[in-house]
Structure 1
Amino acid sequence: MSERQQFKGRSAFIFAAMGSAIGLGNIWRFPYVAYEGGGGAFIVPYLVALLTAGIPLLFMYYAIGHKYRGSAPLSFRRLSRGTEAIGWWQVGISFVIAVYYAVVIAWAVRYIGFSISQDWGEDPEGFFGGEFLQQSGDFSIGGGFVAGVFVPLLLIWLFTLIVLRMGIQSGIARLAQVFIPVLIVIFVIFVIQALRQPGALDGLNALFTPDWGALASSDVWVSAYGQIFFSLSIAFGIMITYAAHVKRRTNLTGSGLVVAFSNSGFEILAGIGVFAALGFMAHASGVPVGEVVESGIGLAFIAFPAIISTMPGGALLGVLFFASLVLAGITSLVSIVEVVIDAFEDKFNLGRTASVAVVGGLMAVVSLVLFPTTTGLNLLDIVDNFANNFGIVGAGLVSVITLGWGLRRLRDLSGHLNAISSFKLNWGWLVMLTVVTPIVLGFMFISEVVDRIQEGYGGMPSSYVGIFGWGVAIGLIVIAIILSFVPWPKGVVERERELLTTGGER
């Protein structure tokens, strides 16, 4: 990799990694998961998950990318010939996630304007699915295009590809260095505005009052591990890709700790803001907070518009909230698309312009064709579920088992990190990755497989689930295996030998 394609310093890398980690899930998923998991008591399993799985996995992927200096497939190929498919699996997951993730950002862009005029009227739910998305409810592909989604989605993709064409430092790092501070400032103002409303304290009490009995439930612990796993951008290939662009003497473990705890800090801040707003909604409606709690799309595009319509000065709250979603979403989207572009640059010896135009352009086309349509919401729902719960969890599980038990390469990776970093890894790190993490991820994966086989998904037709759920999840594995058999350019093979001889230093 050329010097042009490196982060110019440690702070640039940290901001880029934070931009990837802090995404939509921090704002609309963590507060709900914490509330359902025992409120204040949830902090215990959350911290345990962070320390025993989140940070250890983060360090593992940093080490792979930094030592072997390539995209996810190339780094895995340099680690061991037979593991390249794991890298391509992660690339495929990133491809799928990016094409629908961009759509949610486009919705948030429109809702900034809707917040000012409160276009949803008295029925935010009906407006979202009906007038705005124009959903037919059909379980199919196609239908009419929805211009109100297509246009902002096109702009999101153009912006993302321009940033990626500018490269690692000038594009990705600078974007994060601007957007992350702005995001934090905007969200702090949002939190202050929410806390000023009547009922806000009731919302905070609902979130933080501990239910210690919840800790006896295995579901709560699995939820904590799931939240950490998804929010830190683990097993997407992102941290391998970013670490490969870091200079060889960068303090990676110290950087990882900053990223991990900054991500968690933002999640707690999001919980405060969201539940303060929900507390106001409950107060205004005369119902307990538990009756207005939502998560995900329901929280962002149905519950919050209802709050905005009721709250004095709600338009400001809405603009701040949806602007936060846009900023958090774009920095994450850029990182996800970079995984795919970087992989094809390495595999097919493409230049930056060609890879962004061809690979990034293909992703944009797929996104623009499939999702801003009258059938796009159902497709987004099922693809999101299977890409996350089978793709990401499965790829993470296979990674730790392969490296920890199959190849036994974790000690080599810890040695690489210890040689350049301030926070040293010891036997505890190895135990976490060889025992704790495989058990938790294995339980999550098997439970999800059993549930989907027995219950289907969301009341959707089995044929639809089979094609766009199981079909996508299994198809990614098949494609990954096929791509792993495509020969690498000759120069890449020579570079591999050099890396294996020098221990990954340039």
Structure 2
Amino acid sequence: MTMTTGRDEEDVHLSALIESDKEDGDRIVWSKKIEGMFSFLGLCVGLGNLWRFPYLCMRNGGGAFLIPFLLCLLFCGFPLFFLEVSLAQFTGKDALHTWEVCPIFRGVGHGMVIATFVMTFYYNANTAWIMFYLGNSFITPLPWRSCDNDWNTDFCVSSRSFNASESATNFTRGNLYDETRLMTENISHQQNSNVTFPDELIKHKYVTAEEEFWQYRTLEISKGIDVLGHIPWHLAVCFLAAWTLVTLCLIKGVKSMGKVVYLTATLPYVLLTVILIRASFLPGATDGMLFFLSPDFEKLRQPQVWVEAALQVFYSLCPAWGQLMTMASYNKFHNNCYRDSIILTILGEGTSIYGGFVVFAVIGYMAHDANLPIASVVKSGPGLGFVVYPEALSKLPLPNLWAVLFFLMLLSVALDSQFACVEVVIAAVMNHFQSLRKKQLVMTICVSMALFLLGLFLCTQAGIYVYQILDWYVAVTLPILGFIECIIFGWIYGAERFSKDVNMMLGRQIPVFVRICWCFINPIVLLVLFVFTFVSYEPPTYGDYVYPSYANIIGWLIGMLPIVPVVLVGIMTVLKTPGQSVFEKFKASFKPSPYWKPISKKHAMDYHIDNSAASLGLLEQMKLNILGK
């Protein structure tokens, strides 16, 4: 007789469940499992993986930073990812409508949708900038390489190795502002008098051609957030093209998005590999990659390094944004989301490390070419994507080819993230107003058009200042939403009860390790992240520009928006809950509502919630939630 192991029995049981999975009915699900996986992967691999993680790694101990990063991925990233995916797969509902498990916290879903809406509002500006650079990548020579254009100032230099003796040959065209012109005239006069300037002054005053193309041609940047200026026609056109592309890809919801991600989710890996192979043969590339990995274990003694590792994992995997829930709501009921969560967290954060090799190979070449320290070339955020990389690629043979490949990669990464953001908003509206479910095309066009019109604000000459402040504040309270999630499923509803729900889907209980993370590790880490955000707060800046106080006040108000519905909806829920007294209403509002049930019609018919743990003491409940029965 053939003996079957416990693991084999589990797999056979799950296969049987999947074979009999006819209860999804007319619910919208991914056409193929691979489409769902690619969509999740595209969501987890965002621009931050490519232009924030390498910078954090360099600043926090190089290869040593990978230790806290991987530990945070194991103990925080994966458990939170699995929590949200399994929750939405069980209910089959989007982020706004999946909180009947604890009605008093229905506002958590509202907070997630608000945060994602704000992100959707400004994130597509990245796509517009990328499309503008992509279009200019077909111009020979590359327009950001020289200093003899109309937008260049007298401070423009064509090489980072610029020195005082070369300064006279690098002066080019007129200036943007009168005060810049006066400074230039003074410097020119002193140079004619054969005065020698310190290198620090030269480096401070002069700007590379690539940065001037970014600031003065792409953005046509104004002096500050209170100087809106006009809307440059090229940004408006690119922004319209970006929203048109997003609308076309989402025209049939997840059905059309599932087809698009075959390209957008895989293309970045192909192009990253091509760029890495080419960059590896450049002088200085090896030094850059060694710099990326060289460990400084002394840094691990600093709490900030661990906190930044946790923040990077938290924001790159997207828990508490609502995007994971919305995407997972399209999974089939018996989909093995536990295995998917393991694969996706490894692939998503592994891309950050892989992208770091690509970034530092190029930066190492730049530093070698300019005879500068590697650390002086590294930037984070848009500065890396639109200044440093274009500068490096323009020095390669066939620069137009490499520029096109690079910006195609950025475009695919940006689009994947934007798809998920827009889908959260559309799904929330359509599931709230169910009469709109049959009007997917109209809803997608209306939402995209509204966001395009609102987003034109980001296309003004002050748009980058608006972008920076929104990006700075939008996520400050999201750790609190994640904290509430963990408290609900770790303690209020309980890890044991939710484990039974997961067992209904997967044929297996939630592992003890994951339960411990939900009950103890994740809440503590998320609370620390929230406190750290306030303790280490520094107001945003853009280069040397300091925001006025009113801009920071507006930023904080935007950052606090996701918390507002948690309080308001909670109060409204208590008032509407049946009960003789306010205390009874309050207590009852923590219990699952009748709408908390599996999306599977077959399982929903005889579904009931086990309340036997309610009579247990605290220690017994802790033991039950962690170890199970």
TM-score (norm 2): 0.74
Q: Map 1:349-368; keep pairs closer than 5 Å.
A: 349=434, 350-351=436-437, 352-367=440-455
Q: Which moved more, 1:199-208 or 1:254-263?
A: 254-263
CA radius of gyration, larger in: 2
2:108 matches 1:86: yes
Structure 2 residue matching 1:311: 3-state secondary structure: coil
Letter of the 1:330 counterpart: L
Whole-angstrom CA distance in 1 between matches of 2:285 and 2:532 = 36
CA displacement at 1:48 relative to structure 2: 0.5
CA displacement at 1:237 relative to structure 2: 0.5
Letter of the 1:24 counterpart: L
Whole-angstrom CA distance in 1 between matches of 2:509 and 2:287 = 43
2:316 matches 1:231: yes
Q: Alignment partner for residue 456 of structure 1, among 539, 542, 551?
A: 539
Whole-angstrom CA distance in 2 between matches of 1:415 and 1:360 = 40
**2:113 touches 2:321 (CA, 8 Å); kept in 1?**
yes
Q: Alignment partner for residue 337 of structure 2, among 252, 271, 276?
A: 252
Q: Alignment partner for residue 436 of structure 1, among 496, 500, 521?
A: 521
CA displacement at 1:116 relative to structure 2: 4.2
CA displacement at 1:422 relative to structure 2: 7.8
Partner of 1:377: 464
**2:457 touches 2:463 (CA, 8 Å); kept in 1?**
yes
Q: Map 1:210-221; keep pairs closer than 5 Å.
A: 210-221=295-306
Q: Alignment partner for residue 35 of structure 1, among 58, 74, 78?
A: 58
**1:232 touches 1:263 (CA, 8 Å); kept in 2?**
yes
Whole-angstrom CA distance in 1 between matches of 2:299 and 2:321 = 30
Whole-angstrom CA distance in 1 between matches of 2:598 and 2:407 = 48
Partner of 2:428: 343
Structure 2 residue matching 1:321: 3-state secondary structure: helix
CA displacement at 1:456 relative to structure 2: 3.0
Quote the sequence identity (%): 27
CA displacement at 1:447 relative to structure 2: 1.9
Q: Map 1:95-106; keep pairs closer than 5 Å.
A: 95-106=117-128
**1:200 touches 1:275 (CA, 8 Å); kept in 2?**
yes
Partner of 2:88: 65
**1:198 touches 1:280 (CA, 8 Å); kept in 2?**
yes
Partner of 2:348: 263
**2:53 touches 2:312 (CA, 8 Å); kept in 1?**
yes
**1:69 touches 1:504 (CA, 8 Å); kept in 2?**
no
Residues 503 and 477 (structure 1 numbering): CA distance in 2 closer, same or farther, change over 3 Å?
farther
How many equivalent residue pairs? 493
**2:90 touches 2:505 (CA, 8 Å); kept in 1?**
no
**1:141 touches 1:376 (CA, 8 Å); kept in 2?**
no
Partner of 2:269: 184
Partner of 2:249: 163
CA displacement at 1:2 relative to structure 2: 6.2
The one-character-per-residue Cα deviations of 1:284-332 (angstroms, maximum 9, x if unpaired) are 0111211111111111111112212333333333222211110011011
Whole-angstrom CA distance in 1 between matches of 2:361 and 2:95 = 40
Q: Map 1:189-338; keep pairs closer than 5 Å.
A: 189-338=274-423
Question: CA RMSD for the aligned pairs?
Answer: 2.5
Whole-angstrom CA distance in 2 between matches of 1:322 and 1:251 = 35
Whole-angstrom CA distance in 1 between matches of 2:369 and 2:56 = 24
Residues 392 and 315 (structure 1 numbering): CA distance in 2 closer, same or farther, change over 3 Å?
farther
**2:366 touches 2:392 (CA, 8 Å); kept in 1?**
yes
TM-score (norm 1): 0.91
The one-character-per-residue Cα deviations of 1:137-182 (angstroms, maximum 9, x if unpaired) are 32238431122111111111112122222121x2121111222222
Partner of 2:490: 404
Letter of the 1:372 counterpart: C
Letter of the 1:206 counterpart: F
Whole-angstrom CA distance in 1 between matches of 2:558 and 2:115 = 10
Letter of the 2:461 counterpart: T
Structure 2 residue matching 1:73: 3-state secondary structure: coil
Residues 412 and 500 (structure 1 numbering): CA distance in 2 closer, same or farther, change over 3 Å?
farther
**2:489 touches 2:518 (CA, 8 Å); kept in 1?**
no
Q: Which moved more, 1:140-149 or 1:260-269?
A: 140-149
Q: Alignment partner for residue 143 of structure 2, among 107, 111, 119?
A: 119
The one-character-per-residue Cα deviations of 1:56-95 (angstroms, maximum 9, x if unpaired) are 000110122111111111111x222112110111111111
Partner of 1:394: 480
CA displacement at 1:106 relative to structure 2: 1.2
**2:468 touches 2:540 (CA, 8 Å); kept in 1?**
no
2:108 matches 1:108: no
Whole-angstrom CA distance in 2 between matches of 1:462 and 1:503 = 55
Letter of the 2:31 counterpart: K
The one-character-per-residue Cα deviations of 1:400-451 (angstroms, maximum 9, x if unpaired) are 234334x243333333334444885322212212222222221221121233
CA displacement at 1:501 relative to structure 2: 9.7
Q: Which moved more, 1:338-347 or 1:172-181?
A: 172-181
**1:25 touches 1:231 (CA, 8 Å); kept in 2?**
yes
Letter of the 2:447 counterpart: V
Partner of 2:618: none
Partner of 1:131: 217
Q: Which moved more, 1:322-331 or 1:35-44?
A: 35-44
Structure 1 residue matching 2:536: 3-state secondary structure: helix
Whole-angstrom CA distance in 1 between matches of 2:604 and 2:278 = 49
Residues 334 and 402 (structure 1 numbering): CA distance in 2 closer, same or farther, change over 3 Å?
same
Letter of the 1:74 counterpart: H
Residues 186 and 69 (structure 1 numbering): CA distance in 2 closer, same or farther, change over 3 Å?
same
Letter of the 1:463 counterpart: Y
Whole-angstrom CA distance in 2 between matches of 1:482 and 1:345 = 22
Task: Specify which structure has the higher proportion of helix.
Answer: 1
Whole-angstrom CA distance in 2 between matches of 1:251 and 1:303 = 42
Whole-angstrom CA distance in 2 between matches of 1:165 and 1:114 = 28
**1:63 touches 1:416 (CA, 8 Å); kept in 2?**
no
Residues 52 and 35 (structure 1 numbering): CA distance in 2 closer, same or farther, change over 3 Å?
same
**2:320 touches 2:481 (CA, 8 Å); kept in 1?**
yes
Letter of the 2:95 counterpart: A
Q: Which moved more, 1:271-280 or 1:21-30?
A: 21-30
Whole-angstrom CA distance in 2 between matches of 1:273 and 1:242 = 29
Q: Alignment partner for residue 37 of structure 2, among 5, 8, 14?
A: 14
Residues 163 and 412 (structure 1 numbering): CA distance in 2 closer, same or farther, change over 3 Å?
farther
Q: Map 1:410-429; keep pairs closer than 5 Å.
A: 410-421=495-506, 425-429=510-514
The one-character-per-residue Cα deviations of 1:88-147 (angstroms, maximum 9, x if unpaired) are 111111111111110011111111233343212231112211122111132238431122
Whole-angstrom CA distance in 2 between matches of 1:456 and 1:22 = 27
CA displacement at 1:374 relative to structure 2: 0.8
**1:63 touches 1:413 (CA, 8 Å); kept in 2?**
no
Structure 2 residue matching 1:456: 3-state secondary structure: coil
Whole-angstrom CA distance in 1 between matches of 2:479 and 2:398 = 42
Whole-angstrom CA distance in 2 between matches of 1:37 and 1:421 = 40
